[in-house]
A and B are shown apart, each in its own frame.
Chain A
């Protein structure tokens, strides 16, 4: 193979499998411009949409355009953005606020972080347009303190925009004033819920309150407030610049545009992708993601983080949009996509996600506080081999009640991973409970003791050396044996065996 080549032999980005099916609207500049230089952003037509909106459009026209675009909340809820703006615009009040929810907290999700780090001005521009549209003059970005680089770049971006007069007073020579503050969140997952988030900005304990009143009527400090996610705002400059029709060319009928996903887990090309809505899971996981690590079998994909659901192989051809995902019990969520292979135990996955939501439950309402605790106890029991008949039904019943009775989105979605794994992988739950077996071989308590195949054992003694329980005996060059009473099923022997003669 030649070590060096000419540039014309190299493929373009667009020709790589990873990028072929992507459409980058939100991430258009990420990885290409220097995020710390406002000139780089302006050169790529940056702030042009804001200038157009503020100097040439009435707020009504902007809201109409956003409505026509069909843009829906990218934080996961999928509420129509234009309508949300309309409510805030129509609300009475001298003082209004714009809030950006950058409290990204799902395990395995990093969409917002990449955008904030890679193209912070796009968010500022989107917020500016929203502020002008609803008559707000002040905005907050609520971003978690665990994102220090994102915060540093945002701060830099804000001060650069202020220097050029893009933020401040009489922007573009109009009456429009707008300033943006950053509020660093301490990392409580519940603060991603809008009412808890605003309480946190106000310096109160971050717990949700019941709605109505909605933030559009009474939000931050009781004033009409529009709150959207990072990705939602980042779509706005494109819509204003190119028009709703252009935006509508991408996506499906009820979910227009693109969605950013963070591909993680047992997938070859982990990374950040932006695809038109309506692409199938197969397209994303196999064509873009390159398939499963080590060419193992695909088992499930978890979308929407701890609030989402596990989608099985039968649904790989599902066209992804807000409604299709909801139909099968999952949800779009903010865009985390955790891919699992055949070695994953679905009961254990459900336990993992519930451990997360249970510890992040703020404790304000009983169904979430106690319900998730009881569900977790049952799941832990099942994975430890203590599952009882009726456990599955109890989980289903608890899940249903928690979904219906919880105060906020955290509780209302927390049972989803459990309910979807029961729906699609009920046999695994049954195997754990009835047969005391973990089909994927992941739950330690359910692993049987290991045995050595005497016909294949070469008597090298490596297993004997690593066994922490001294359960293996045998003479050099002779077949070894494992004492099933002493074996703790740790699997260390199977890992070192050079001839794969040990199994359980």
Chain B
């Protein structure tokens, strides 16, 4: 970074790239809370379960990680962001719940009430 404007340009590039990506290949994103609290509550197992479901269904999704959002009580947390839809947080899930949540949310765009906590204003 050689100047303030270079940072600004870089910032714009990132948002542009994101926008373009969204236009070209609108991929659903599955985000797993992988802070120490999440991992202690089983986030790694959830992540593996997500990977399995994605493989099995041959889904084209991004799997990413994030830190702790504060609700340690509700860990492990998994968010799903569908193109054109707000990001939704699911909590207190177990490996066995992952498949049903992805099936309903990604394929039918339906929210599984039992585990849904909130949506994120973006």
- A binding-site residues for B, Cβ under 8 Å: 1-7, 9-16, 18-19, 22, 27, 30-36, 39, 42-43, 45, 47-48, 51-52, 55-56, 110, 113-114, 117-119, 147, 149-150, 164-166, 170-173, 268-274
Contacts and interface: CB of A to CB of B under 8 A. Distances in A.
A27 B7 CA distance: 23
* Residue picked from A32, A273, A274, most chain B C-beta under 10 Å: A32
B3 to A, nearest CB: 5
B48 interface: no
* Residue picked from A3, A14, A56, most chain B C-beta under 10 Å: A3
Contacts of B59: none
Contacts of B7: 42, 47-48, 51, 172
A483 B56 CA distance: 63
Given A36-B65, A43-B14, A10 B70 contact: no
B73 A270 contact: yes
B49 interface: no
B112 A30 contact: no
B63 to A, nearest CB: 11
Given A27-B70, A271-B72, A113 B114 contact: no
A360 B77 CA distance: 35
A30 B36 contact: no
Given A5-B111, A9-B111, A31-B33, A55 B3 contact: yes
Given A31-B67, A42-B11, 8 more contacts: A10-B116, A13-B118, A30-B67, A43-B14, A110-B36, A114-B36, A117-B67, A166-B1
Interface in B93-122: 104, 108-114, 116-121
B15 interface: yes
Contacts of A2: 113
Given A114-B68, A118-B66, A149-B39, A3 B15 contact: no
Given A42-B10, A56-B4, A7 B67 contact: no
A18 B89 CA distance: 14
27 contacts: A4-B110, A4-B112, A6-B110, A7-B86, A18-B71, A30-B68, A31-B33, A31-B35, A32-B120, A34-B31, A34-B65, A34-B66, A35-B66, A39-B14, A42-B7, A42-B10, A43-B15, A51-B4, A117-B36, A165-B1, A170-B2, A173-B3, A268-B73, A271-B71, A271-B72, A272-B70, A273-B70
A7 B88 contact: yes
A45 B15 CA distance: 11
A10 B119 contact: yes
* Residue picked from A7, A166, A269, most chain B C-beta under 10 Å: A7
Given A12-B118, A271-B71, A164 B112 contact: no
A435 to B, nearest CB: 38
Contacts of B109: 7
B37 interface: yes
B5 to A, nearest CB: 9
A19 B120 CA distance: 12
Contacts of B3: 55, 172-173
Contacts of A34: 31, 64-66
Instruction: Indicate the size class of the contact surface on chain B.
Output: 35 or more
A147 B40 CA distance: 13
A119 B65 CA distance: 12
Interface of B: 1-4, 6-8, 10-11, 14-15, 18, 31, 33, 35-37, 39, 64-73, 77, 85-86, 88-89, 104, 108-114, 116-121
Contacts of B113: 1-5
A114 B69 CA distance: 9
Contacts of A110: 36-37
Contacts of A269: 71, 73
B67 A118 contact: yes
A164 B2 CA distance: 9
Nearest to A43: B14
Contacts of B111: 4-7, 9-10
B4 A55 contact: yes
B44 to A, nearest CB: 12
A31 B70 contact: yes
A11 B118 CA distance: 5
Contact of B112 (A3, A117, A272): A3
A18 B117 CA distance: 11
A96 to B, nearest CB: 23
A171 B26 CA distance: 36
A45 B67 CA distance: 18
A227 B13 CA distance: 35
B117 A16 contact: yes
A272 B72 contact: yes
A271 B35 CA distance: 12
B119 A118 contact: no
A11 B119 contact: yes
Nearest to B64: A34
Given A42-B7, A272-B72, A114 B37 contact: yes
